[in-house]
Structure 1
């Protein structure tokens, strides 16, 4: 079985939203500054509270862009993602006047009417909204264009020569309320299921560990740790004898005299691993 080749690939991370909130705050400040400059040019009065209130349009981008991104990640079709983008824009325009009305009712002497604020938002911010939510659409759609390159890399990995598998050699486990122990996996006799944990069985004690048998089975050397039952993962090197039950099941005795049952569902694979050791045999 071939293993993926080690190819030096620069890992692409999503950074489009990292500085989004600071940029929104900067845009709010720029919007207020633009209002101030406009009043200077028109020689009219400048009201900072009202300018800040109507600049709250930009604050809504923070939750709604993240919501747009979350929704778009749940669909694959471009028309579905475009529909979500247009819906996010419309939702923003609908929520904005309600936010202005609520804030003005709580903190201002005058409450601004919904439709008055809606018309203002539609005429002032529609283009900006389409640009920003459109950028969110593009940022989600762009990774899809990298699929041919990814397929090419996977083809190279599939045909690459096999490399030695890296298996767990040690386990860091909690050994008491405030202590941790690094166990050599070769010292472990077997694991037993204790949902949602597993119990590690050593020669002289047991330790509860946060893991699953299925997860450990994929991380440990399959030639050493063999699944013998839905509840047991066994270190085959600790087995000293195997006895057939004449019904497809087997009993195995370990070096510490523990006896475990090998279920018939796992017996075939267990026998393959056991018989691969020339000095051993079945009874």
Structure 2
């Protein structure tokens, strides 16, 4: 929808320009060079299922992704204009001419739209599930084990999910905290997170908490929060996860 509106407004802008300068308006020519908006739509179709991955990316990876998206967008839109012009015109435009036009007229909007999109996906995006995906997640959760097997050397402990307060990264281990004890586990936070059920929530890149053990949370006035767990344990909630955390807590209160 955004791409369609952008295309229509750009064509209308071309029409106003020709009226103001008393030149002829050629609809096909105007439409042809609006392929840049079509590429935004194609980019969305190809990547919308991967939007959730952006929230976990580091700033370095985001910068590389941003550069790659802008480069690919300019390349694809240039080739589209070149190909369509040679198919429907007696003599098509040259690639160099189209590329120069794209850089001079469309580079700012490409940079701006991808920048805003990545900011939104990083800070505010919350994926929604359809009924089929929700049922699959529910069925998977019901079949998951209720204990976490903790390995440290030759020692193996089975710790109930109900007893876990939080799990923190403590390289090269993870620290599993319960009300009565703490355990070092020979694994990564990412792998442990894949073994847990839906009651566990990631507060920031190095900490997962059991939502059932949250007793209160308080703002730090900088976007972050302090979350208090049973046993008077405090952990930090990153601003990047605050919106999702409040939504989960709100659902629990409603229930």
Q: Which has the higher strand share?
A: 2
Structure with the greater alpha carbon radius of gyration: 1
Q: TM-score, normalised by structure 1?
A: 0.43
Q: TM-score, normalised by structure 2?
A: 0.48
